[in-house]
Amino acid sequence: MKNIIKTSIALIVLISLGGCKKFLEEDLKTELAPTNTYTSTYGFEVGSAGLYALARSEYNTYGEGGAYIHNGAAPYEALQAATDIADVINSDASLMAFANLTLTPTERFVGTYWNWAYSLIASANLMLVYSEQNTNWDSPTDKVRFQAEARFFRAYAYRTLVYLYGDVPYVETILYDFKLNFTRTPKAEVIAHMVDDLKFAVQHLPTNPDQVKDGKVTKWAASHLLSEIYLLQGDYTAAEQASLAVINSGYYGLMKTRFGVNKDKAGDVFSDLFLENNQNRLGAAANKESIWVLQFQFNVVGGGTNSDDWTRRAWIPNYSSITGFVLADTLGGRGIAQLVPMKWWTGTNGTNATGNVAGIFSATDIRNSNYNIKRNWYYNNPSEAALFGKKANITEQTWFTTKNLFPAITKFFYGRAENLSLTGSYKDRMKFRLAETYLLLAEAYLGQNNPGKAADAVNEVRRRAGAGDVAAAQMNMDFLLDERIRELVGEESRRFTLVRTKKYVDRVKAYNTAIQNKVTEDHMLWPIPQAIRDANRDAPFPQNPGYN
């Protein structure tokens, strides 16, 4: 896999708009050059592996294993900051500008997300161009299969770009010459291209998920993403149809009984979804809810590294800094609390925090059980005999000031007794799962002013959780956004959801007290990276409103 990753990087002939000219002029006349690689089905398999590696590297921090380099702690967290779910103030320095709405065009992740997306687009375009030239295929269907994969990933990359930056240049071929006169393509036009790409992917990607390797996309992953993009486009009927195609495919179902590695131990079916080795469809777990799973598994060739997926570090308290605690895999491993869950949705019942906040969970909702939100913490250091085994109190100070003890989302727990200081989460990550497909369907019904059917879709998810049905009279966008927290907190990119549903400003004003008096419509988008505008010397490249 290491050689495949190197190959994938060599195949990126087009770097991001404004990438360095030296890269464009690099001599690729080696065995890794696309003219030598894209000459057979095997060569396209290598290129395909590169697409998956680049897609996974969205979560990478410092570039181990040749992955894309964000060069900062947990870029994923920037997509949760300044929303309605987490307090990020007084966190990692690389997140502060996102959290307190002082973002500038030179902020690191503003540039790296742009570069990541266009690097993925460049690799997809490379595969598409060379697929038209190649005639040496093992099977007559290979050409369209690789084209479908490439177009899926191109749409996936543009998804990030339009959510974060709005109007962005649309590029669909290899640019051999260094270009200094890009213009911003209207967001609606880019979305239309994404729809076309995903419709092609739906038509030509494999149908049977039992006949593809773990982590490979199928037509159903494309349908799931297509539903979301139709919602972004405002085509709610088409979004409904795309969601229903997945739900009614016969291949997927919500996991409703205990399964996988710890099915005979204490827990519940929701917690089972997130235990290591329970994410994939194939194998012992047989998780039929997973639609697309990013492969980060531990100590496996092509798996994760210490720089991959720091989500666990983000959501777990820095408990080991408290006298009486030591790092433990049962407590989630090494946490540094860069994202602190807000009280309004977690609630404070069952903790010792001051104030009584009900939260958004019903009494019977298993997603609120201690298997899924850890509220009871007990000192675990046997060297501290006076404390060992006693309950540690969660207080306002431990929750929001020192951030070393608060209710923790256990879906991101990860630790290994042989190396408790691991930074990466060597656990496969469900990127798309069927519960979200139902919630996308509900969003499509709300867009069609049909709260009754929206409630039916949401209730499929709530019944698995034992949460009780929601009535049509209660069903609105705010309820759905709350339901997405209950089901998907930390899994979804919360900023994307709030922007798509046009509720970003309302929800931040309602729930994020740190910035509720600062947030405006301009904050729905990030600024265009300054390096991009500086490099585009031969044509105007306007900045997003509200940024200099």
CA angle (330, 332, 334) in 5-degree steps:
125
What stretches of 404-488 show up as alpha helix (H) in DSSP?
Answer: 434-447, 451-465, 477-488
- Asked if 85 and 494 touch (Cβ cutoff 8 Å), the reply is yes
Q: What is the mean pLDDT of residues 215-227?
A: 98
Residue 16 has pLDDT above 70, yes or no: no
Mean pLDDT of the chain: 91
Token pair of 379 as six digits:
């000192």
pLDDT band with cut points at 50, 70 and 90 for residue 89:
confident
Token pair of 400 as six digits:
């929001």
For residue 180, the SS3 value is coil
- What's the pLDDT score for residue 32? 63
Residue 83 has pLDDT above 90, yes or no: yes
Q: What is the mean pLDDT of residues 506-522?
A: 97
Domain ranges of the chain: 1-180+532-548, 311-422
Give residue-wise pLDDT tens across range 38-67.
Answer: 999 999 999 999 999 999 999 988 877 767
Quickly count: other Cβ atoms within 10 Å of residue 331's Cβ. 23
Exposed, middle or buried by CB within 10 Å (0-12, 13-18, 19+), for 91? buried
Give residue-wise pLDDT tens across range 305-330.
Answer: 888 888 888 999 999 999 999 999 99
pLDDT-above-70 percentage for the chain: 93
- What's the pLDDT score for residue 66? 66
Token pair of 37 as six digits:
């690689």
* Cα(112)–Cα(476) distance, integer angstroms: 35
Residue 23 has pLDDT above 50, yes or no: no
Residue 401 has pLDDT above 70, yes or no: yes
- What's the pLDDT score for residue 22? 31
- Picking from 90, 80, 11, the residue whose alpha carbon sits closest to that of residue 46 is 11
pLDDT-above-90 percentage for the chain: 79
pTM: 0.93
What stretches of 57-104 show up as alpha helix (H) in DSSP?
Answer: 93-99
pLDDT band with cut points at 50, 70 and 90 for residue 21:
very low
Q: What is the mean pLDDT of residues 172-201?
A: 93
